[in-house]
């Protein structure tokens, strides 16, 4: 047996990055992780991962880290993830999401990384859609966050074309599941679950008829595994379910699953919120054999179970 393949995961202490780390460790990869713990938590980092607390924008520190770890693959999840913060502070958003990404790509070039996986966002990129969006839909970002993800994608492509770094851009739908921050502005499943379990009344922004594509985090982690294992071709690929669910439907399912009766409070719509965001996942199946496996009800059950006993002590 040869040496295990090495992967560097940025944002490993975060919601999605930590699940990707779990899945890659299970597959036998040697996982190195970087996170500045700005929103991530140390307890999310798997025990068998090698963890470095660092800011991806600290290029000298990152250079040393690449030199020491020599990753074959880089899976890039560290980001400024708040749309609202990107509106309030677009410079900071661009600093982390654009400069941070370019800095990493430059190190991938210097240390001859074989492939980079880049976490992008279908919702933030495509804007409102009438039907499940395909990857060839013209981007129509509505926030600095959407633009910084789009710019990140362009740099990933540039480094791929110019320097032969293989890449897959994963455009996620609304990812949900264990470890998502229940106190954040986004992540409606975690926010509602947190409020229901704590006996508080969840607030629905707008009329609750906004449609989203909810994809379970372990399925998202498996998409990352499939990309590395199948040596997927350079492309941007949706990671969603193709199924739209309204916020009202989601709320009703959570009430039923948790067994906690609650009536939502309706608040004003949030400026800039999309009406409909659903992603067509067929390209992922075609090029690296990935399909979402977890029906929404099942994923919500697992999520509610996980949150029980972890909040409201």
User: Can residue 116 be called a binding residue for ligand NAD (CB under 6 A)?
Assistant: no
Q: Is 176 designated active site?
A: no
**Integer Cα distance of 268 and 32 in angstroms:** 43
Whether residue 133 contacts residue 280, with contact meaning beta carbons closer than 8 Å, is answered with yes
Nearer to ligand NAD, 55 or 273 (CB): 55
Residues 19-58: x/- map of binding to ligand NAD (CB under 6 A)?
Answer: ---------------xxxxxxx--------------xxx-
User: Which region among 14-22, 65-73, 157-165, 222-230 touches ligand NAD (by CB under 6 A)?
Assistant: 14-22
What mask of x and - would describe binding to ligand NAD in positions 187 to 226, judged by CB under 6 A?
----------------------------------------
Nearest Cα neighbor of 75 from 162, 23, 12 is 12
Task: Name the minimum Å distance from CB 312 to ligand NAD.
Answer: 21
Nearer to ligand NAD, 164 or 295 (CB): 295
Residue 282 contacts residue 290 (beta carbons within 8 Å): no
Looking at the Cβ atoms of 201 and 275, the one nearer to ligand NAD is: 275
Note whether 283 binds ligand NAD by CB under 6 A: no
Partners of 212 in the β-ladder: 245, 277
Shortest Cβ distance from residue 96 to ligand NAD (Å)? 5
The answer to whether 14 contacts ligand NAD (rule: CB under 6 A) is yes
- Residue closer to ligand NAD by CB (options 4, 85) is 85
Q: Between residues 119 and 253, which has the closer beta carbon with respect to ligand NAD?
A: 119
Closest CA to 219 of 295, 156, 163: 295
Could you tell me which of 136, 157, 172, 139 has the C-alpha nearest to residue 14? 172
Choosing from 29, 145, 159, 176, the catalytic residue is: 145
Question: For binding to ligand NAD (CB under 6 A), which residues are involved?
Answer: 11, 13-17, 34-40, 55-57, 77-79, 81, 96, 100, 119, 121, 172, 174-175
Q: Catalytic residues, which ones?
A: 145
């Amino acid at each position: 047996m040869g040496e295990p393949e090495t992967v560097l995961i940025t944002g490993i202490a975060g919601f999605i990055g930590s699940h990707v780390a779990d899945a890659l460790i299970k597959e036998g990869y040697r996982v190195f992780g970087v996170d500045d713990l700005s929103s991530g938590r140390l307890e999310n980092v798997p025990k068998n991962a090698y963890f470095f607390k660092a800011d991806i924008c600290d290029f000298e520190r990152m250079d040393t880290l690449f030199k020491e770890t020599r990753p074959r693959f880089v899976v890039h999840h560290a980001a400024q993830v708040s749309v609202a913060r990107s509106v309030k502070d677009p410079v900071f958003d661009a600093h982390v999401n654009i400069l941070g990404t370019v800095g990493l790509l430059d190190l991938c070039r210097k240390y001859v990384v074989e492939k980079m996986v880049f976490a992008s966002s279908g919702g933030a990129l495509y804007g409102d859609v009438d039907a499940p969006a395909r990857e060839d839909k013209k981007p129509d970002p509505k926030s600095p966050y959407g633009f910084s993800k789009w710019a990140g994608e362009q740099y990933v492509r540039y480094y791929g074309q110019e320097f032969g770094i293989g890449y897959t851009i994963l455009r996620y739908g609304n990812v949900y599941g264990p470890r998502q921050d229940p106190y954040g502005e986004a992540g409606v499943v975690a926010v509602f679950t947190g409020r229901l379990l704590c006996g508080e009344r969840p607030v629905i922004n707008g009329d609750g008829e906004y449609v989203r594509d909810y994809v379970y985090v372990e399925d998202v982690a498996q998409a990352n595994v499939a990309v590395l294992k199948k040596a997927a071709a350079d492309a941007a690929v949706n990671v969603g379910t193709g199924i739209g669910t309204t916020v009202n439907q989601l709320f009703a399912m959570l009430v039923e699953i948790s067994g906690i009766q609650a009536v939502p409070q309706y608040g004003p719509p949030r400026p800039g919120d999309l009406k409909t965001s659903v992603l067509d996942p067929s390209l992922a199946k075609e090029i690296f054999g990935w399909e979402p496996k977890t029906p929404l009800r099942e994923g919500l059950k697992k999520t509610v179970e996980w949150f029980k006993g972890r909040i409201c002590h």
